[in-house]
Structure 1
Amino acid sequence: MAYDVIVLGSGPGGYPAAIRASQLGFKVAIIEKEVLGGICLNWGCIPTKALLKSTQVYEYMKHSTAYGINATGVQADFGAVIKRSRGVADKMNKGVQFLMKKNKIDVIMGFGKLKAKGQVEVTAADGKTSVVEGKYIIIATGARARELPNLPIDGKKVIGYREAMVLPEQPKSMIVVGSGAIGVEFAYIYNSLGTKVTIVEFLPRIVPVEDEDISKELEKQYKKLGIEVMTNSSVEKVDTSGKQVKATVKKQDGSTVTLEADVVLSAVGIAANIEGIGLETLGVKTEKGRVTVDKNYQTTVPGIYAIGDCAPGQALAHVATKEGINAAEAIGFIEKKYGHQPEPIDYNNIPGCTYCTPEIASVGYTEKAAKEAGYEVKVGKFPFIASGKATAAGATDGFVKVIFDAKYGEFLGAHMIGNNVTEMIAEVSVARKLETTGHEILNAIHPHPTMSEAVKEAVAVAYGEAIDI
């Protein structure tokens, strides 16, 4: 079997790369060892959002009297919540299958390994092997949960995100190690359903990649929800021999405390899936656990590309998608099927979203990073408690924070925490892409009443023109 382009992996980087290559007129095959859609669609982005929606509906119903509605006897059915989540993932998986057929992409199920220049060996589930040939190969093998040596995942008492999505029974207590997006999302899900949750974070604040004001607000909201938060703390060891897990946690002052829970969720980041795929055979260079690539995602071996979580950029689904499209277009340019080199991604204008409640969304510089970069800044913050739409929705927690260069008005960054802010951050991404200034935001009419007008209101605060606060 010979193809123009072979894609290893069908996640949010792999399947868009395959589709874009097909659109450009290439004969394309995609190799997938498990299920189409990869981790994001089947075990990450999509099913976790389904779980979060179920818990949010449950929260609404528990507090229905605040909206003048009396709902009695409301209970969460843990098994049904899990089942709905899996159903959503299965539906999306079928959608990717349809897209492969629509775009005439051959799907080859099995584990793909680089065998020689232009050759991939595929091992099927039954152990049979075959060789697929392709002029270009795009590696999109994604990543998995990272394991700490002192926190080995056994899948029962110490679990990763995959197990957290399909637990057979709801635990009465849970320790979440790590407070990035995965950690805080699962902390919210399980706490809302009635599990006693403790977050242990090694760094001084939770969601540590976010602006400091966002971290402070989320910690305040989580403590109000009854989630215990331990920062500057590390899990030194776990004892799984008894009925419960015993975790020895070292605090900032050097003292230790033993926490007990039904289960420990390890959410300490990810590791790229680059082992065993033949990189060494062809001499593909790697660095710090990722595949080395150029601006068009070509590796150190011509004709072989790498995108998504196994490449050096941010490990986000939307980043992988754009990298995959760019890699396909770069190949198209070489083969004279595309008119120009793809525009390089601006990795300082990548929106990040965390779907806990309240949601978090951010893009660009934090206030601290902007100052460290030498900017004199104007900062504006608009709290949702001053928003008519937020007040009507009963969702007044949080704020929008914007950062501008005081000299030229450059939109340096925005950081949001509150209801539906993940739907609002795209405005700032587009504004920064178009080099929009603060005054241009103020002169663009924002609809009222909406949550999104908080962006304009925050800009008004930054420029001393606030009306509603």
Structure 2
Amino acid sequence: MADYDIIIIGGGPGGYTAAIRAAQLGLKTAVVEREHLGGICSNWGCIPTKALLRSAEMMTHAAHFEDFGITLTGKVKPDIARVVARSRGVAERMAGGVAMLLRKNKVDVIWGEARLAGGGIVEVAEPARPAQEPQAPRPKGIKPAGRYSADHIVLATGARPRVLPGIEPDGDRIWTYFEALKPAHLPKSLIVVGSGAIGVEFASFYAAMGTEVTVVEVLDRILPAEDAEISAFMEKALGKRGIAFRTGARVEAVKAGKSAVSVTLTGGETLKAERLISAAGIVANTEGLGLEEAGVALDGGIVRVDAAGRTSAAGIWAIGDITGAPMLAHKAEHEAMICVETIAGGAPHALDRSRIPGCTYCDPQVASIGLTEAAAREGGHAVRVGTFPFLGNGKAIAMGEDQGMAKVIFDADTGELLGAHLAGAEVTELIQGFATAMALETTEAELFDVVFPHPTISEVMKEAALAAFGRAINI
């Protein structure tokens, strides 16, 4: 008899969600973790970055207190040590919460680095100290490294920052997001290579803290995964906050010195700054797991799975970042539920990856789901497109947050909601309304019938839908 019904390798959002759901379904469950319960998301990604960005938001608000009739005595300035301490405290709280949830659900935690040994065996060795970060304190009641067996093994090992040739992080002048999350002091100037969600979020944070920021993007627009209209809006909005952009610019050379780093771009332009953040995406953690020996097939560095998370090897499953884009915590969590419920004998609905919302927590925020306008047209759809500016929304004006927009794309023949794209205050909270609408196969008719409360920023959602059919009221 195996030691466990299921062993999950990785204690991040996908892994711990899978473990808890498995325990709820009556399966004897263990999680193998080598560094941090909660994974990168809780410890070095989603959560601590949002804590930093909240501090940045407070700084931005403070700079405009006079506009709201409030007078502050003295100059508002950031204390970066306290900002970082708060962020790290939030991360520690999250990791502690995950440990509590696993204990509550009677999930065993095995501490160490896992490797597949065949026949349902997982060999767990003492973890080597990570090069990029200190190890977290080990939670109480953990199982030691050793040899464990299970009927099912779920791979949930996540991802790490992508390292570009010639821009290898040195922990001093050239940072990944690990170093960018805990600076000893605020750099006076910063170059960010990459304008995806990670790059733009850090650019937004440091700019709000008073750092001179330049973002370099090899493609012809920032936030290239977003709708082109949203990208254009955000470049202007972030530019007003003092962030400079170099789009269509390839990094040809990087030289780190004792006091600065210089970057040579295509065409010969040279930029100099105190620090550089390499934010060119992430890469799946598939090395060192013994995947090839276990017969687990990979495609382009990610694990090949079916709709339920089955790999090519019997009894081995995979979820989250190692199964490919979008590499998002909420996608991993949903895959975890599908995978474990299938293992337990259920028949859950497959995940529709085209309906996974994406959020970027810069200032202003960005959120989107579904097809961009260009992708909808390229896919052969005749479309109806509606846009609505925050300038026409009473709540946004009252809040002093009137810089934003909502955009929706409908199939002109069927009324199907194909995509929604938002920029502005709190849009990362609004996007779930469109996610729910798409999951319910909503058309414009249903959206027209929904009563949106007034005054709320959410009214821009209905106005954008009305605009697509020539019926907008407040613009």
Q: TM-score, normalised by structure 2?
A: 0.95
Which residue does 1:393 correspond to in 2? 399
- Which blocks of at least 5 consecutive residues in structure 2 are unaligned? 130-143
Tell me how far 1:456 sits from its aligned partner: 0.4
Which residue does 2:321 correspond to in 1? 309
1: CA distance between counterparts of 2:188 and 2:435? Answer: 41
Tell me how far 1:130 sits from its aligned partner: 1.1
> Which residue identity is paired with 1:146?
R
Tell me how far 1:167 sits from its aligned partner: 1.3
2: CA distance between counterparts of 1:150 and 1:35? Answer: 29
1: CA distance between counterparts of 2:360 and 2:46? Answer: 10
Which residue does 2:280 correspond to in 1? 268
Tell me how far 1:279 sits from its aligned partner: 0.6
1: CA distance between counterparts of 2:60 and 2:324? Answer: 38
Which residue does 2:168 correspond to in 1? 152
Secondary structure (helix, strand or coil) at the match of 2:19 reads helix
Which residue does 1:285 correspond to in 2? 297
Q: TM-score, normalised by structure 1?
A: 0.96
Q: Does structure 2 retain, via aligned residues, the 8 Å contact 1:62–1:71?
A: no
* Cα-Cα RMSD: 1.2
> Which residue identity is paired with 1:462?
A
Q: Does structure 2 retain, via aligned residues, the 8 Å contact 1:358–1:417?
A: yes
Which residue does 1:101 correspond to in 2? 103
> Which residue identity is paired with 1:180?
G
Tell me how far 1:80 sits from its aligned partner: 0.5
Q: Does structure 1 retain, via aligned residues, the 8 Å contact 2:23–2:105?
A: yes
Which residue does 1:443 correspond to in 2? 449
2: CA distance between counterparts of 1:270 and 1:31? Answer: 22
Q: Does structure 1 retain, via aligned residues, the 8 Å contact 2:111–2:145?
A: no
Which residue does 2:263 correspond to in 1? 247
Which residue does 1:462 correspond to in 2? 468
2:46 corresponds to 1:40: no
Which residue does 1:30 correspond to in 2? 31
Which residue does 1:110 correspond to in 2? 112
Which residue does 1:413 correspond to in 2? 419
2:425 corresponds to 1:423: no
> Which residue among 164, 182, 190 is the counterpart of 1:166?
182
1: CA distance between counterparts of 2:351 and 2:145? Answer: 37
Tell me how far 1:119 sits from its aligned partner: 0.6
> Which residue identity is paired with 1:274?
T
Q: Does structure 2 retain, via aligned residues, the 8 Å contact 1:19–1:100?
A: yes
> Which residue among 121, 124, 131 is the counterpart of 2:123?
121
Tell me how far 1:225 sits from its aligned partner: 1.0
Query: Residues 8-39 of structure 1, C-alpha deviation per residue, up to 9 Å, x if partnerless?
Result: 00111000001111111100000000010000
2: CA distance between counterparts of 1:140 and 1:2? Answer: 19
- Which blocks of at least 5 consecutive residues in structure 1 are unaligned? 334-339
> Which residue identity is paired with 1:226?
G
> Which residue identity is paired with 2:361?
Y
1: CA distance between counterparts of 2:282 and 2:226? Answer: 18
Q: Does structure 1 retain, via aligned residues, the 8 Å contact 2:110–2:145?
A: no
Query: Residues 77-136 of structure 1, C-alpha deviation per residue, up to 9 Å, x if partnerless?
Result: 111100000011111111101100110000111111111221111112489851011110
2: CA distance between counterparts of 1:13 and 1:141? Answer: 9
Which residue does 1:50 correspond to in 2? 51
> Which residue identity is paired with 2:430?
M
Tell me how far 1:176 sits from its aligned partner: 0.1
2: CA distance between counterparts of 1:20 and 1:208? Answer: 35
2: CA distance between counterparts of 1:463 and 1:381? Answer: 11
> Which residue identity is paired with 1:183?
G
Q: Does structure 2 retain, via aligned residues, the 8 Å contact 1:297–1:323?
A: yes
Task: Point out the more displaced range, 241-250 or 259-268.
Answer: 241-250
2: CA distance between counterparts of 1:95 and 1:359? Answer: 27
> Which residue identity is paired with 1:112?
A
2:348 corresponds to 1:332: no
> Which residue among 78, 99, 116 is the counterpart of 1:76?
78
2:351 corresponds to 1:351: no
> Which residue among 205, 208, 215 is the counterpart of 1:192?
208
2:88 corresponds to 1:90: no
Tell me how far 1:240 sits from its aligned partner: 1.1
Q: Does structure 2 retain, via aligned residues, the 8 Å contact 1:365–1:414?
A: yes
How many residues align? The count is 459
| Change in 2 beyond 3 A, CA 1:447/1:150 | same
Secondary structure (helix, strand or coil) at the match of 1:371 reads helix
Q: Does structure 2 retain, via aligned residues, the 8 Å contact 1:31–1:108?
A: yes
Q: Does structure 2 retain, via aligned residues, the 8 Å contact 1:10–1:30?
A: yes
1: CA distance between counterparts of 2:341 and 2:446? Answer: 33
Tell me how far 1:223 sits from its aligned partner: 1.1
> Which residue identity is paired with 1:372?
E
Secondary structure (helix, strand or coil) at the match of 1:424 reads helix
Secondary structure (helix, strand or coil) at the match of 2:353 reads coil
> Which residue identity is paired with 2:220?
P
Which residue does 1:380 correspond to in 2? 386
Tell me how far 1:406 sits from its aligned partner: 1.0
2: CA distance between counterparts of 1:20 and 1:263? Answer: 43
Which residue does 1:294 correspond to in 2? 306
